[in-house]
Structure 1
């Protein structure tokens, strides 16, 4: 698939996912690509991650598991593209529908909006229930401001690794590029943790995920900054200042970029110390605004997010048109 075809595929996939999301009936019927990848990762974890093995051997097994996951994913995605490619426009349309399942614009918006609704209609307990669906931290440790910040942080970070990153690799490498990214990101979320079981085995998945998310996290910050230009109650200057000053102080090499941009744009403080389970994680603050966020701030963040998604679509469509004209 040529670069112009990949960019056209990206544009169609973004439009399809924004319009329809991933239908619940389809999920009930056949599951979702992430669930398929998850089953393969669990099988590799069970068969290759032996607790009796020394650290170095478990790390080597984790590298082998990641390579196996990427090989299966890449070959499958390439085969699907090879089968549908010769069909012309109908094949491209089917590929776009398949590729749209690797993006999460609509579902991310709905999950974060549910936190705002939960706070408004069910108070702190309603907000905690809703935010527990999208973050790993202990919801019982969160007050209203903590729930609101957690939702906004999740929106910013997942905009990067759930939308911009798969879109970036889809535009660059077609369906195989997006599928390989999604496999890497899913592996990181499942085994890329510093726990006794996965510190060695998940090392390769975590480091590779950091690498493939580098370009998208920076692009996401720019999209949020550009979206802030179009909103009266947002500050592009604040977003730029927060990214330059704070992004590098986040414990993640990538999450700090979109979170700092969102914090600065909204005049908030995000990230900082937080509790996962019973473990307190010390982290740098993103932004220098107020920490007392609320449901209104979640709604402001969602408005920025919708605009940023529109800008991403416009960028993809513009690049697709440019590549198509150049290829003629």
Structure 2
């Protein structure tokens, strides 16, 4: 039964449940990263090669080559992960699911996201604004020198919200839908968007397909993430599920991104904050709508509140997956 994780949906859900558990407990070990790298780095190398080799010619030619390059990327990732799925299937159903779950655990980033955002709060408390700017520069693309303490805190919370969607919920959704291959294909699309999906002279044409496809595949996860944060707020005495719901309904559609506004609005409403809004990336000023109607003066304590809400939402997601596994297997 080499194709179990693709033809038998309960197996994909089982892979997802185990992968989330392994990643939450262990993360991606530093020793393994030093020895072998990470799937995202492998995918990134292929994207860089395609960019270097294909991104030339007229605007229309580069757009067409970008579509073809994305197709090559997805074909390579699909072929590799289908081969792994087939090989794992020969180990039998139980061992096959375990093997694929450990491989799939490299795709979500629950633990590393928590660690990186928590470092911003710790740096602000122990090293002041300079340390906070240095820590937040590791997780956001905006100019850290332009940020005061409140802006550093908002940037960390925005990063937590958006990356909860595209770094945790989205890979989980696609693993549940298509096993290891589904999750890996999502990660390839998301990595391509982060590398070439920018409106710059070099990548506006070549990265067009990656950016549009990333918007599409992130659509279900962004809505699910907002719901998870609203549900988590209902379990937190220091958050408001009602305000989170109202912020999502009122503000999410006004964000410049078709997906980022949903988790950011939910987080902002739940914590009584304002997130997003005008900000600077390099030399570019982005005039974006505010998410939430609370205070803009965020502090390290608000980052910690956001992390607490994030952990509750991760727990709710895992619980929902476990219930789905139980229903799928008739337990």
**Same fold per superposition (TM over 0.5):** yes
SS of residue in 2 equivalent to 1:136? coil
1:136 aligns with 2:141: yes
Aligned to 2:44: 38
Say whether 1:3 aligns with 2:9: yes
Aligned mate of 1:26, from 11, 32, 38: 32
Which residue is 2:70 aligned to?
66
Distance 2:213 2:119 in 1: 32
Deviation (angstroms), 1:210? 0.1
The structure 2 residue matched to 1:76, chosen from 73, 80, 84, is 80
CA distance in 1, matches of 2:44, 2:193: 11
CA deviations 1:41-64 (Å, max 9, x no partner) are: 0000000001xx111111000000
Regions of 4+ moved over 6 Å: none
Number of aligned residue pairs: give it: 324
Deviation at 1:92, TM superposition (A): 1.6
Aligned partner of 1:123 in structure 2 is 128
2:247 aligns with 242
Q: Secondary structure at the match of 1:234?
A: coil
- Structure 2 counterparts to residues 229-268 of structure 1, below 5 A: 229-268=234-273
2:21 aligned residue = 15
1:309 corresponds to 2:314? yes
For residues 232 and 211 of structure 2, what CA distance do their matches in structure 1 show?
30
Q: What TM-score, normalized by structure 2, do the two folds share?
A: 0.97
User: 2 CA distance for matches of 1:86 and 1:163?
Assistant: 29
- 1:90 is displaced (CA, Å) by 2.1
Aligned residue number for residue 162 of structure 1: 167
> 2: distance between equivalents of 1:236 and 1:85?
43
Residue aligning to 2:218: 213
- Secondary structure of 1:151's counterpart equals helix
Cα RMSD of the aligned pairs, angstroms, is 0.7
Find the aligned partners of 2:136 and 2:286 in 1 and give their Cα distance: 18
Q: Give 1:287's aligned residue.
A: 292
In 2: Cα distance, 1:97 partner to 1:6 partner: 13
Q: Is 1:319 the equivalent of 2:316?
A: no
SS at match of 1:213: helix
> How far off its partner does 1:245 sit?
0.3
Q: Counterpart in 2 of 1:94?
A: 99
Segments of 5+ residues of structure 2 without an aligned counterpart are none
CA shift, 1:91, in A, is 2.4
Question: Could you list the runs of 5+ residues in structure 1 that have no partner in the other structure?
Answer: none
C-alpha deviation, 1:86, in angstroms: 2.5
